[in-house]
Structure 1
Amino acid sequence: MRVLVAGATGAVGRQLTPRLEAAGHEVVGVSRRGPRPVDVLDAEAVRRVVARIAPDAVVHQLTDLAGADGAANNRVRVDGTRHLVDAARAVGVRRIVAQSISWAYAPGDAPADESVPLDPAGEPPRAGIVAGVRALESAVAELPEAVVLRYGILYGPGTWYAPGGAVAAALAGDPAARFLGSLAADDSVSSFVHVADAAEAAVRALDWPPGAYNVVDDEPAPGHLWLPVLASALRVPAPVRTEGRAPWARGALNTRARALGWAPARASWRTGFGDQGALRAVRSGSGPGSEDRP
């Protein structure tokens, strides 16, 4: 299969390309930088590059996280996805695999499965994030074989959670990392996934039935449990235990993806955070997280 990877230079994209090739696919990657540069916010440029590549399937891993600019990332989710879907449809692409997130669900007390609706309310900035996710998922669903991967919080090489990344800086008290907001060791529950496991799911998703899938590890956990483990792995001070919980911070379940044969190689953040091969520092020109948009 000829596969177009949009966002090939991002944290997931870099893990994804060799896995697709190993699975026997012909891979063409595009990104803002690199041998095939294209600006996903330029509809005509996207149309031209997709027409030239004429893929059998598109894997959408587009983000704009390097500058920690939520509005910029939302533009990619909304406008970038719109341009990519329109261009893919124009050349007859039926299958798309798209990156989404697993923390956009409506509030609740238990980890969410895919039957839980996206959050219908919320205050800014969450309201804007969920609106962007809703627009992305709605756009890709226009293609007949659309698979949405709702990733957990990504960690590993090229992410904010790698040694030397933005989270380490924030926990160490770096004022420049205040854009992350509060990293609270409270009862708010998160689900994580290593970038290699996320990439493996994207490869497998080329054969999955259309729909949404949570791609998370096996252990949703409150901040007061996972933050000290992460801080220890990053060799920075752990935050003080606090009380309270954001109602929407409930984590997610991976039962549906597991039923199709995917399983995280790093089943828990407990061991994943401490895997220094997985969490090697990214120090060369990537800023606070190296995922980027084309």
Structure 2
Amino acid sequence: MHILLTGSSGWLGRYLAPRLRALGHEVTGLDVAPGTDTDVVGSVADRALIDRLFGERGIEAVIHGGALHKPDIVRYPNQAFIDVNSSGTLNLLEAAVAHRASRFVFTSTTSLMISSTIREARGETAVWIDEEMAPLEPRNIYGVTKLAAEQLCRLIHADHGLPVIILRTSRFFPEDDDTHLALSGENMKANELLHRRLTVEDAAKAHIVALARAPEIGFGTFIVSAPTPFARDEVAALKADAPAVIARHFPDAAALYARRGWQLPPSIDRVYDASLAEGVLGFRCETDFAAVLDALRHDAELPFAHDADYVSPKEVFVAN
């Protein structure tokens, strides 16, 4: 297939584009910043550009990973998020319909499921988060515009039958969290693989599976995150004493962490349940918290990427 990949210069794009090509697909990479896998520098908000690309390149499928993200909130106005995340998605969807593309995969985010109440951990238990959670009350413009884009995906599928798979990915960024700095970046990423993170490699694989399954499924929304070891009936204990719960599942975790100088999370406020993706989409992340502990046991390389100095290519491009 000839695939239009948006966000091709970004963190996900640099892992996804080579995998698509290795499978025999032709890829047109579109990004606002130049990159190894970017053929066209431009924005999804540019409708004329999108229409031209579909017409000139014979685009048969779309993987839409390009977006403004949560760290961009301090750099861009609300209108930019609407133009890129919402209107840009509509541009791609309508072009896909007009040019009879066979499928559309949309990179969404679990962030749109996190209200201010969840973010501030006000509840007495951890929140068990799956695709049935409602109502959705995103806490910032990033979440609002990604949720709007999801609804546009649903509407276009309903009106035109375009097969669409929405992947609500949990965290896979390589840099440090811009708001939680109490732990080292590697320690925090390891902790998050218990309940709210996946590797970028697994994120890329999920998109490839979604691309293959979209015509069969028709429409679906899936949380994509490393499989959690926890059960729904552990939510109260996770909020009150997470290390005790972790010890039941991984008896040597505390000792392995201590050897590294790391800390287990004292409390866990949310758990992403990715079981629907496994059961319906047929995708399960390969890397989980057990893989982290295995690496610690054998003094091996950690099974996830961490780069405290990572800067989005679009910001480097703008700065230069």
The structure-2 alpha-carbon separation of the partners of 1:192 and 1:46, relative to structure 1 and needing over 3 Å to count, comes to same
Structure 1, residues 222-241: CA drift from partner, whole Å, max 9, x if none? 69669x99xx79x9986995
Residue pair 1:171, 1:237 contacting (<8 A) in 2 also: no
Q: Does 1:202 align with 2:207?
A: yes
**How far, CA to CA, are the matches of 1:262 and 1:12 in structure 2?**
17
Q: Does 1:151 align with 2:169?
A: yes
Counterpart code for 2:211: L
Alignment counterpart, residue 166 of structure 1, candidates 172, 176, 181: 176
**How far, CA to CA, are the matches of 1:25 and 1:267 in structure 2?**
29
Aligned to 2:250: none
Counterpart code for 1:44: A
Q: Does 1:113 align with 2:136?
A: no
Structure 1 or 2, whichever has the larger Rg, is: 2
Aligned length: 260
Counterpart code for 1:167: D
Aligned to 1:134: 147
TM-score between both structures, scaled by the size of structure 2: 0.66
Give the number of the structure whose residues are more often helix, by fraction. 2
Counterpart code for 2:16: L
The structure-2 alpha-carbon separation of the partners of 1:36 and 1:118, relative to structure 1 and needing over 3 Å to count, comes to farther
The structure-2 alpha-carbon separation of the partners of 1:153 and 1:73, relative to structure 1 and needing over 3 Å to count, comes to farther
Alignment counterpart, residue 218 of structure 1, candidates 227, 231, 248: 227
Gaps in structure 1 of 5+ consecutive residues = 174-182, 184-188
Structure 1, residues 168-187: CA drift from partner, whole Å, max 9, x if none? 895269xxxxxxxxx9xxxx
Residue pair 1:47, 1:87 contacting (<8 A) in 2 also: yes
TM-score between both structures, scaled by the size of structure 1: 0.71
3-state DSSP of counterpart to 1:41: coil
Counterpart code for 1:119: P
3-state DSSP of counterpart to 2:112: coil
Percent identity between matched residues is 21
Aligned to 2:108: 100
The structure-2 alpha-carbon separation of the partners of 1:135 and 1:94, relative to structure 1 and needing over 3 Å to count, comes to farther
Residue pair 1:98, 1:149 contacting (<8 A) in 2 also: yes
Counterpart code for 2:278: A
Alignment counterpart, residue 51 of structure 1, candidates 48, 55, 78: 55
Aligned to 2:41: 37
The structure-2 alpha-carbon separation of the partners of 1:268 and 1:51, relative to structure 1 and needing over 3 Å to count, comes to farther
Gaps in structure 2 of 5+ consecutive residues = 119-124, 189-193, 231-237, 247-252
Higher relative contact order (CA 8 A, sep 6+): 1
Structure 1, residues 132-185: CA drift from partner, whole Å, max 9, x if none? 23211122231420111111111xxxx2xx3xx232895269xxxxxxxxx9xx
3-state DSSP of counterpart to 2:272: coil
